DNA sequence: GTCTATACACTGATAGAC
DNA sequence: GTCTATCAGTGTATAGAC
């Protein structure tokens, strides 16, 4: 029966068009902010007529919601590397690396996220209150256990996490300022390596990871 | 002659109204972004008719420019404390304290600044290329001299500055997220003190400031 | 599923009386 | 210097032909 074939083909068209629109939307929302972004501009970037956007996403707000939720998924993905390690040097080092890599590869997403949180998280507040709070409290316990095991200094885990988030995301959210301070050039591969190493070294040394662990970075 | 009195009185009225409008504008731009902010909303917050805004500031963009430039001045003011000190512990400690205090007292300004830079600095780009570049290069030389004097480790001064900027401004730009993770409460006085101490300790220890200096924090 | 034309609301900015 | 009324332009969203 053709009724079994047709829906699958349509589903594929829908999937591809939604991805094209979402990619364009993320870029435009990041560059112009929610209020500054227009459906017309997103449509132009996506290479589609404006009306098609409303066919796939009923409203501008619904499109924005989907963009923000996709970014939250990327964030959770990076958070996973935290757990596949035994001590602070390995776990936090891998976590910083993962977040720096996201800042490098996915700066638009980070900017949309930052803008959403700066504007009091109108869309993502429920996720902050549930998933983020739970994740953070779990990680705080892990860090506390490292402190008790003598693997690191007795620093406040909460402010350590904030510092990691702030610093790694800074390379995405403020990439324009960083480029301006780098002779208007994007960071080269070597400069990114240097950035990662510098960030990891200062933070890990700052929380009391011994020099023998730091030399492995 | 009354022509000597009247202009002075008018100047005072102008000064006060401009300040009222600028304060309201900073708040609204921070909460809604440039595109999301409306002259009507700024007028409502300022308690003035919308037309009066256009009497004092010809366009929305001109008003926004003034807000951003005022924030840049606050930023430069905090930067000054960097220089009234001899070594890394004292200078960077005072700088971090000053920036944390700005994040606490002036979060709206920090958010407008972050938003401006995230959107590729359409208004403030010339300041970034001149004042910020010069200031940063000067401070990098100072930090290098500390390294050569053996007062701290041989860290990359640029990434150290980025970490300080990122972390201190995070407490303003992401204050909503921080509040959400603090049982929906603003940080108390004690919590702010703890935040400052944690940030200073991790960063200063991370760059090799000796324990004898750290205990003074 | 695609696209043109259009309805309707809102915003920045101004004119002109006070 | 203040404020009401209003204009011109733009934005989201939709109707309806294909």
CATH number at residue B201: 1.10.357.10
> Domain check: are A187 and A166 in the same one?
yes
Q: Which residue range(s) make up the domain with B21?
A: 1-58
Q: What mean pLDDT value characterizes chain A?
A: 95
Q: Does the nearest atom of strand D lie within 7 Å of B49's Cβ?
A: yes
Mean pLDDT, residues B26-48: 98
Q: For residue A127, what are the CA distances in angstroms to A65, A76, A131, A214, B215? A: 12, 11, 5, 35, 39
Mean pLDDT, residues B177-203: 98
Structure tokens at B155: 């860290």
Any domain includes A36 = yes
Q: Does residue B2 have a pLDDT over 60?
A: no
Q: pLDDT-based confidence at B8, cuts 50/70/90?
A: confident
> Domain check: are A41 and A79 in the same one?
no
CB contact under 8 A, B35 and A30: no
Q: Does residue A6 have a pLDDT over 70?
A: no
Dist CA B35 CA B48 (whole Å): 21
Q: Does residue B4 have a pLDDT over 90?
A: no
Q: Does the nearest atom of strand D lie within 7 Å of A201's Cβ?
A: no
Q: What mean pLDDT value characterizes chain B?
A: 95
Mean pLDDT, residues A23-50: 98
Mean pLDDT, residues B112-131: 97
> Domain check: are A125 and A141 in the same one?
yes
Q: pLDDT-based confidence at B6, cuts 50/70/90?
A: low
Asked whether A169 and A114 are in contact (CB, 8 A), the reply is yes
**Which residue from A minimizes the CA distance to B214?**
A206
Where do we find the tokens 């301070």? Answer: A181
Q: Does residue A17 have a pLDDT over 50?
A: yes
Q: In angstroms, how far is D6 C1' from B51 CA?
A: 12
Residue A57 is given by DSSP the state S
pLDDT at res. B182: 98
Q: Give per-residue pLDDT as tens, A90-128.
A: 999 999 999 999 999 999 999 999 999 999 999 999 999
Any domain includes B216 = no
**Which residue from B minimizes the CA distance to A194?**
B156
> Domain check: are A154 and A106 in the same one?
yes
Question: Which of B58, B73, B100 is the C-terminal boundary of a domain?
Answer: B58
Q: Does residue B5 have a pLDDT over 70?
A: no
Q: Does residue B1 have a pLDDT over 60?
A: no
Q: Radius of gyration over alpha carbons of chain A, in Å?
A: 20
Any domain includes A214 = no
Mean pLDDT, residues B144-170: 98
Asked whether A82 and A89 are in contact (CB, 8 A), the reply is no
In angstroms, the separation between the Cα of residue B200 and the nearest Cα of chain A is 9
pLDDT at res. B83: 86
CATH code for the domain of B33:
1.10.10.60
Mean pLDDT, residues A126-138: 96
Question: Which of B16, B35, B58 is the C-terminal boundary of a domain?
Answer: B58
Q: pLDDT-based confidence at A216, cuts 50/70/90?
A: confident
Backbone angles phi, psi at A184, to 5 degrees: 60, 25
Residue B192 burial (C-beta neighbours within 10 Å; 0-12, 13-18, 19+) = middle
Question: Which of B58, B85, B104 is the C-terminal boundary of a domain?
Answer: B58
> Domain check: are B180 and B76 in the same one?
yes
pLDDT at res. A3: 44
Any domain includes B125 = yes
> Domain check: are B26 and B86 in the same one?
no
In order, the DSSP letters of chain B are -HHHHHHHHHHHHHHHHHHHHHHHHHHHHHHHHHHH--HHHHHHHHTS-HHHHHHHSSSHHHHHHHHHHHHHHHHHHHHHGGGS-SSHHHHHHHHHHHHHHHHHH-HHHHHHHHHHHHTT-TTTHHHIIIIIHHHHHHHHHHHHHHHHTTSS----HHHHHHHHHHHHHHHHHTHHHHHHTTTT-PPPHHHHHHHHHHHHHHHHHHTT--HHHHTT-
> Domain check: are A201 and A134 in the same one?
yes
Query: What is the domain count for chain B?
Result: 2
CB contact under 8 A, B180 and A205: no
Closest CA to A38 of A20, A53, A23: A53
In angstroms, the separation between the Cα of residue A71 and the nearest Cα of chain B is 16
Structure tokens at A110: 């980070």
């Amino acid at each position: 029966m053709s009724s079994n074939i047709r829906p699958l083909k349509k589903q594929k068209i829908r999937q591809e068009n939604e991805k094209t629109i979402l990619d364009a939307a993320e870029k435009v929302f990041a560059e112009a902010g929610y209020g500054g972004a227009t459906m017309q501009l997103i449509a132009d970037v996506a290479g589609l007529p404006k009306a098609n956007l409303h066919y796939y996403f009923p409203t501008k707000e619904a499109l924005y919601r989907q963009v923000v939720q996709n970014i939250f998924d990327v964030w959770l993905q990076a958070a996973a590397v935290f757990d596949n390690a035994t001590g602070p040097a390995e776990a936090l080092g891998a976590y910083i690396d993962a977040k720096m890599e996201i800042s490098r590869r996915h700066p638009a997403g980070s900017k949309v996220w930052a803008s959403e949180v700066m504007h009091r998280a109108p869309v993502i507040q429920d996720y902050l209150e549930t998933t983020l709070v739970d994740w953070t409290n779990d990680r705080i316990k892990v860090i506390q256990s490292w402190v008790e095991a003598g693997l690191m200094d007795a620093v406040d885990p909460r402010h350590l996490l904030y510092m990691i988030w702030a610093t790694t995301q800074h390379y995405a959210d403020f990439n324009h300022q960083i480029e301006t301070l780098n002779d208007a050039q994007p960071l080269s591969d070597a400069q990114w390596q240097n950035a990662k190493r510098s960030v990891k070294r200062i933070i890990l040394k700052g929380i009391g990871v011994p020099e023998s662990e730091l030399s492995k970075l």
